[in-house]
Structure 1
Amino acid sequence: MHYPARMKLARIRHAGEAHWAELDGDTLHLTRSLGGPRTGQSLPLDPAALLAPAEAGKIVCVGRNYLDHIRELGNDTGDLPKEPGIFLKGANALAEPGGTVTRPDWTQNFHFEGELALVIGQRARNLTPETALSHVAGYTCGLDLTARDLQKTDLQWFRAKAADRFCPLGPWLETELDVRDLRVQTRVNGEVKQDSRTRHMIFDVPSILTYVTRFVTLEPGDVVLTGTPEGVGPLQSGDTVEVEVEGIGTLVTHIG
């Protein structure tokens, strides 16, 4: 998929249905599909109507992609990872920007992890570093919510990472963005908790996509989370989490 110029693409709920739209200032122009032609209908931006900007069949996540995060979790006892560590979330994990995620009562250590996310625009298999980014529809902010205690006890990270609404995403997609050196910041109740740059990733975005598509075909609408930097920590009911990625905007999530 190729876009003629940088634009913001949003997914919204309008008249009881989900629609894609192009955001121009404070005006939403409805489109026939993700990145498709405009329908001719427009409406004012209503943040409350925004949905997660993806129609994901799967969410592929990269763990331990920043050295400082590896260190803070005590996983730096050996050499640096030689290949990305990946795990999955399902579409059930998506949550809208500005929404509320209920703090689960089955975890005693509920953590935030802010990161750069991307949404696939065209079918991707056996990509190369040179072709990888041409398959991306756009970039957005992601919040990888984690039950840290269950991550340490379970055979797989299914409960810890893939529970309902454990992946807020948004607020929209930026179609053209140089992701090599973007600031990624997470704030909880206004206090900065994470503050790093994508240049500190162990595996950059083209490398991640090249690796993942050796094993898994990525379909349009699928989401890839690229890893979180140092500073993760616990969340309590009543907290507000903001994930801001330079050049994109801010994803706000309330913990209920």
Structure 2
Amino acid sequence: MTTTTPRGTSKVGTAIRARKDAGSGAVIGYLPVGFPDVSTSIEAAVAMANNGIDVIELGLPYSDPVMDGPVIQAATQRALAEGFRIREIFPAVREIVSQVSSPVVVMTYWNPVTQYGAQRFADDLAAAGGAGLITPDLIPDEAAEWIAAADAADLDRVFLAAPSSSEARLRQAVEASRGFVYTVSTMGITGARSDVDSAASTLVARLREVGVENACVGLGISTAEQVREVLAYADGAIIGSAFVRALAEGGVARLAEVSRDLASGSRPAADQPA
């Protein structure tokens, strides 16, 4: 079900814009590829897209996931223990985008991309139908190689902004990103929390002041009510641990239920997935 977009057009930005035009914002869902195995992770990503998740964020398992919370760390470590290899990300992306229209971005630490080769990684991801890359540990002023590779392959590139970022850093993130800026609502590692940090709305406002097109808030969202809260001021809500936990505890069926529930935070009742 791969959709064609003109070169230079952000697949993720297009998906977010569609949700904004509908009067809300996007829900972006994270799962690590290879958990609990590659075929199930593909099935899970498809289930998320078919149950209201607008953008799929596919995590590349890494041996030193310093920014991930315990739920995601456990899942990625299991994927690695099962023998997952970097090259497996590309056929996984290809299989997912062949079945759904939601764009797929890969979230990865920078070291695996360097090991694989930045331009080779970009080219292989684009050939698989991937939309782009989220690089949480790569800052824009050290990202010239990736920006050039992503531009050559026509991929989105997503950088992070945190509450501690200076105005200059925020401006760099906005200028270097295509698709959205990943707006970190709390300092520290990822993981579902009972309350979304109030620092998020302040950070989004600061990003608006320096010209952000799409600011999507992640780290800590776990309920439909929090999705609604975030989308009152942001362009997207990014959810990870809640989905990984659902898959771990109840398989794809439970993940589909949780996806429908969390997606409901971005849609009026008449617009719910069937």
Q: Under TM normalisation by the shorter chain, which class is it? A: under 0.3
TM-score, normalised to structure 1, is: 0.26
* Structure with greater strand percent: 1
* Structure with greater helix percent: 2
TM-score, normalised to structure 2, is: 0.25
